[in-house]
């Protein structure tokens, strides 16, 4: 019985209230508690206006709209009866005004950079609507630089309400593991190549550069990575998974050099001697065209100090065949088959030191003696003889942003160098007569730029994964002063202007450009289409039928080729056509650009 009475009373009250809502209008709206946010801004967010009928549902929606402004910790909107009409009271509690922004937990990115990503500034009222854009901006800033982070807190401090606390939790490296199945390379050498250290903020770009550095040594058949969660979600364990390749080689056999010369060779080399990363090599080459034996002794050490300075040294006695005949590819000899040789005997010493992950400074010293031999020409215009001594210094700067140094698919590479030289020519003859006898000085400058494009995704796990690549290269060189003939720029042949004879053009200036499209057939083999354009000019005069120009005279070459990697190293074979449609086959031992 009692329960029934209460139900009837509740129903009557509901009817009375509902009836009351339908009577009376809003006579006034009072705003209380606001200090910095204007009354007009609050009223503009409300649907309820003075003069409208009182409807509770509209006030509930107004409360949500005012809360959505983001400026208030608490919002109360209610109606009060006044002489059969209504007055609406809006009571708000504002968030504090921000006078200071405190950023904590950041190591990888400077506070000044993070402050620029925060949309709230000192003097603003804290606004919840600014929290998500600011935290997203901060996290994207980290991603852009290769780091990972979460904004753990973005709110005023309880003990200091006018201070906005921005607490960042950065992902950091806990351990770096190396899985080397063969274990031939010393772990200390590997860890010197890995620049990421335990305790560092985890930077994916830096770690990928470490993997590329390992792969670029060519000591490994494959370099892969595994990333695992550390002791807590903010820690990362990194593992480099390596599969070593055989580096020590003893080779004996026959080869074609880029000048189409057939030669027998014996070569002993190891680019990772006893797992130390040091390079040692001995090469002996004897051409079937005579001229004597070429001998090379090479040594390199990638770590001679704690600044990652590398050193290379070489002793050599090379035979260079000038204007070789038609041994391979149908080239014409400008001197009716009467070739001659230059023997260059000397040594070179080079040092490289990195400025940062991308840029390296190099210093080189070279000293050699040049002796011309096997001159068979009876016409003095069929050869150039300038025998003597040469000393030079090379100052170079290289910036490398390629994804890998071996078969790059994206990024760019730029190199600039200046090479002051000093020559002492003691004997001269042929097409130049005695024009350069005695001492001379010169500066040889060189600039090269390379760029790589692919539409395929970046190599993340397998750095040797094939890619379809458009590769571009531009080179320019200039000599100031009088340099010997053998120090000039040469264009023509396998690495400069295909479709033309080796050393077809020479001079004190050079411009060369190349475009290649590389299409992988399998992991170790590419089919290539290429176009070369350029030349050299402004040097010594004509030799035989090889006429030269004193002004820029550029030529085009084009063709197709194939490149593949073998246990003996990379090899490339190109069929090039010159601007007259004549063809020449070029053979290159080593990598292209």
Identify the pLDDT of residue 73: 92
Phi, psi for residue 33 in degrees, rounded to 5 = 95, -15
pTM: 0.76
CATH class of 23-94: alpha beta
Strand 163-170 and strand 100-104: pairing?
parallel
For residue 18, pLDDT beyond 60: no
In sequence order, the β-bridge partners of residue 346 are 316, 368
Strand ranges in 181-322 using DSSP code E only, listed in sequence order? 220-229, 235-244, 249-256, 262-270, 279-287, 293-301, 310-322
Identify the pLDDT of residue 419: 97
In sequence order, the β-bridge partners of residue 255 are 263
Q: How far is CA 558 from CA 17, 526, 527, 580, in A?
A: 92, 17, 14, 11
Would you say 192 and 303 are in contact if contact means Cβ atoms under 8 Å apart? yes
DSSP state of 202: P
d(CA 275, CA 540): 48
Token couple for 282: 């001995």
Long-range contacts for 456-462 (Cβ within 8 Å, ≥24 apart)?
Answer: 456/409, 458/403, 458/410, 459/403, 459/404, 459/409, 460/208, 460/225, 461/224, 461/225, 462/222, 462/224
Average pLDDT over residues 553-577: 88
Q: What tens digit of pLDDT does each residue of 346-395 get?
A: 999 999 999 988 999 999 999 999 999 877 766 777 788 899 999 999 99
Select from 226, 235, 240 the least CA-distant residue to 195: 240
Q: What is the percent of the chain where pLDDT is above 70?
A: 91
**Band of residue 16 on the pLDDT scale cut at 50, 70, 90:** very low
Phi, psi for residue 477 in degrees, rounded to 5 = -135, 150
d(CA 280, CA 352): 18
d(CA 341, CA 447): 29
Phi, psi for residue 316 in degrees, rounded to 5 = -155, 160
CA 11-14-20 angle, 5° bins: 145
d(CA 574, CA 584): 8
Helix %, strand %, coil % of the chain (to 5): 15, 50, 35
Identify the pLDDT of residue 261: 65
For residue 543, pLDDT beyond 90: no
**Band of residue 259 on the pLDDT scale cut at 50, 70, 90:** low
Q: What tens digit of pLDDT does each residue of 484-500 get?
A: 998 999 999 888 999 99
Identify the pLDDT of residue 251: 79
Identify the pLDDT of residue 424: 95
DSSP character string of 54-115 = P-HHHHHHHHHHHHTTS-EEEEEEEEEEETTEEEEEEEEEEPPBP-EEEEES-SSS-HHHHH
Would you say 463 and 216 are in contact if contact means Cβ atoms under 8 Å apart? no
Q: What tens digit of pLDDT does each residue of 401-422 get?
A: 998 888 899 999 999 999 999 9
Instruction: Evaluate whether the domain defined by 100-170 bears CATH number 3.40.50.2300.
Output: no
Instruction: Evaluate whether the domain defined by 249-589 bears CATH number 2.40.160.50.
Output: yes
- 82 exposed, middle or buried (CB, 10 Å; 0-12, 13-18, 19+)? exposed
Phi, psi for residue 135 in degrees, rounded to 5 = -65, -35
Q: How far is CA 90 from CA 28, 39, 77, 93, in A?
A: 11, 10, 5, 10
DSSP state of 332: P
Identify the pLDDT of residue 451: 98
Q: What tens digit of pLDDT does each residue of 160-179 get?
A: 999 999 999 999 999 999 99
Q: Is 388 helix (H, G, I), strand (E, B) or coil?
A: strand
d(CA 317, CA 121): 70
Q: Residue written as tokens 């593992």?
A: 239
Would you say 263 and 255 are in contact if contact means Cβ atoms under 8 Å apart? yes
Q: What tens digit of pLDDT does each residue of 220-245 get?
A: 888 988 888 888 878 999 999 998 88
**Lowest mean pLDDT segment, chosen from 52-61, 330-339, 393-402:** 330-339
Q: What tens digit of pLDDT does each residue of 451-472 get?
A: 999 999 988 777 888 999 999 9
Identify the pLDDT of residue 338: 58
Q: What tens digit of pLDDT does each residue of 294-325 get?
A: 999 999 999 999 999 999 999 999 888 877 64
Q: Kindly give, in sequence order, each residue whose CB lies less than 8 Å from that of residue 53, ignoring residues fewer than 6 positions away.
A: 21, 22, 24, 25, 26
Token couple for 488: 């000039």
Identify the pLDDT of residue 13: 38
In terms of pLDDT, which residue wins out, 329 or 322?
A: 322
- 39-65: b or e for each residue (b if 16 or more CB lie within 10 Å)? eeebbeebebeeeeebeeebbeebbeb
Q: What tens digit of pLDDT does each residue of 98-134 get?
A: 999 999 999 999 999 999 999 999 999 999 999 999 9
Q: What is the percent of the chain where pLDDT is above 90?
A: 64
Identify the pLDDT of residue 351: 97
DSSP character string of 349-373 = EEEEEESSSSEEEEEEEEEEEEEEE
In terms of pLDDT, which residue wins out, 506 or 264?
A: 506
In sequence order, the β-bridge partners of residue 451 are 412, 472
d(CA 38, CA 47): 17
Token couple for 407: 């078969």
d(CA 544, CA 564): 37
d(CA 3, CA 9): 10
Tell me how far the alpha carbon of residue 498 is from its chain's centroid.
28
Select from 353, 388, 351 the least CA-distant residue to 367: 388
Q: How many residues does the chain have?
A: 593
Helix (H) or strand (E) holding 152: strand 149-156
Q: Is 374 helix (H, G, I), strand (E, B) or coil?
A: coil
CATH topology of domain 172-244: Ubiquitin-like (UB roll) (3.10.20)
Which part of the chain has CATH 3.10.20.310?
23-94, 100-170, 172-244
What mean pLDDT is reported for the chain? 88
Torsion, CA 243, CA 247, CA 253, CA 254, rounded to 10: 80
In terms of pLDDT, which residue wins out, 412 or 18?
A: 412
Would you say 171 and 153 are in contact if contact means Cβ atoms under 8 Å apart? no
Identify the pLDDT of residue 430: 83
Identify the pLDDT of residue 520: 94
Other CB atoms within a 10 A radius of the CB of residue 387 amount to 18
């Amino acid at each position: 019985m009692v329960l029934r009475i209460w139900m009837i009373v509740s129903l009557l009250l509901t009817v009375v209230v509902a009836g009351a809502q339908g009577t009376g209008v809003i006579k006034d709206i009072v705003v209380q508690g606001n200090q910095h946010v204007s009354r007009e801004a609050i009223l503009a967010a409300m649907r309820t206006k003075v003069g409208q009928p009182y409807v509770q549902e509209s006030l509930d929606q107004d409360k949500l709209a005012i809360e959505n402004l983001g400026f208030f910790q608490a919002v109360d909107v209610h109606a009060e009866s006044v002489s059969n009409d209504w007055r609406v009271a809006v009571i708000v509690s504002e968030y504090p005004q921000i006078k200071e922004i405190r950023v904590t937990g950041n190591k990888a990115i400077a506070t000044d950079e993070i402050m620029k990503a925060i949309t709230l500034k000192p003097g603003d009222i804290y606004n919840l609507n600014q929290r998500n854009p600011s935290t997203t901006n901060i996290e994207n800033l980290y991603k852009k630089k290769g780091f990972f982070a979460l904004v753990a807190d973005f709110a005023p401090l309880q003990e200091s309400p006018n201070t906005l606390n921005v607490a960042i939790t950065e992902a950091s490296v806990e351990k770096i593991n190396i899985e080397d199945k063969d274990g031939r390379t010393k772990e200390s050498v590997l860890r010197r190549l890995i620049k990421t250290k335990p305790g560092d903020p985890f930077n994916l770009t830096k770690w990928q550069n470490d993997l590329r550095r390992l792969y670029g040594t060519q000591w490994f058949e494959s370099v892969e990575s595994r990333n695992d969660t550390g002791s807590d979600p903010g820690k990362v364990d990194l593992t480099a998974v390596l599969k070593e390749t055989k580096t020590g080689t003893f080779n004996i056999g026959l080869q074609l050099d880029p000048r189409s010369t057939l030669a027998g060779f014996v070569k002993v080399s190891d680019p990772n001697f006893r797992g130390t990363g040091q390079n040692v090599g001995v090469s002996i080459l004897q051409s079937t065209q005579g001229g004597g034996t070429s001998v090379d002794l090479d040594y390199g050490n990638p770590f001679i100090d704690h600044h990652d300075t590398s050193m290379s040294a070489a002793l050599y006695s090379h035979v260079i065949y000038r204007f070789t005949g038609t041994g391979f590819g149908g080239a014409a000899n400008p001197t009716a088959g009467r070739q001659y040789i230059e023997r260059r005997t000397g040594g070179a010493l080079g040092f490289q030191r990195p400025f940062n992950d991308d840029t390296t400074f190099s210093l080189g010293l070279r000293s050699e003696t040049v002796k011309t031999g096997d001159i068979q020409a009876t016409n003095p215009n069929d050869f150039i003889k300038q025998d003597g001594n040469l000393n030079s210094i090379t100052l170079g700067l290289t910036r490398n942003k390629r994804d890998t140094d071996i078969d790059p698919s994206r990024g760019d590479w730029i190199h600039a160098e200046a090479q002051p030289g000093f020559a002492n020519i003691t004997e001269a003859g042929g097409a130049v007569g005695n024009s350069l006898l005695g001492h001379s000085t010169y500066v040889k400058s060189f600039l090269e730029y390379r760029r790589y494009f692919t539409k395929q995704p970046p190599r993340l796990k397998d750095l040797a994964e094939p890619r379809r690549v458009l590769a571009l290269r531009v080179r320019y060189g200039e000599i100031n002063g009088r340099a010997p003939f053998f120090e000039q720029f040469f264009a023509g042949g396998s690495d400069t202007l295909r479709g033309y004879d080796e050393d077809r053009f020479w001079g004190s200036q050079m411009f060369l450009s190349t475009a290649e499209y590389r299409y992988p057939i399998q992991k170790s083999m590419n089919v290539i289409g290429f176009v070369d354009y350029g030349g050299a000019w402004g040097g010594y005069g004509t030799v035989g039928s090889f006429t030269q120009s004193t002004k820029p005279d550029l030529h085009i070459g084009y063709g197709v080729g194939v490149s593949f990697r073998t246990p003996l190293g990379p090899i490339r074979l190109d069929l090039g056509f010159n601007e007259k449609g004549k063809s020449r086959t070029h053979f290159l031992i080593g990598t292209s650009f």
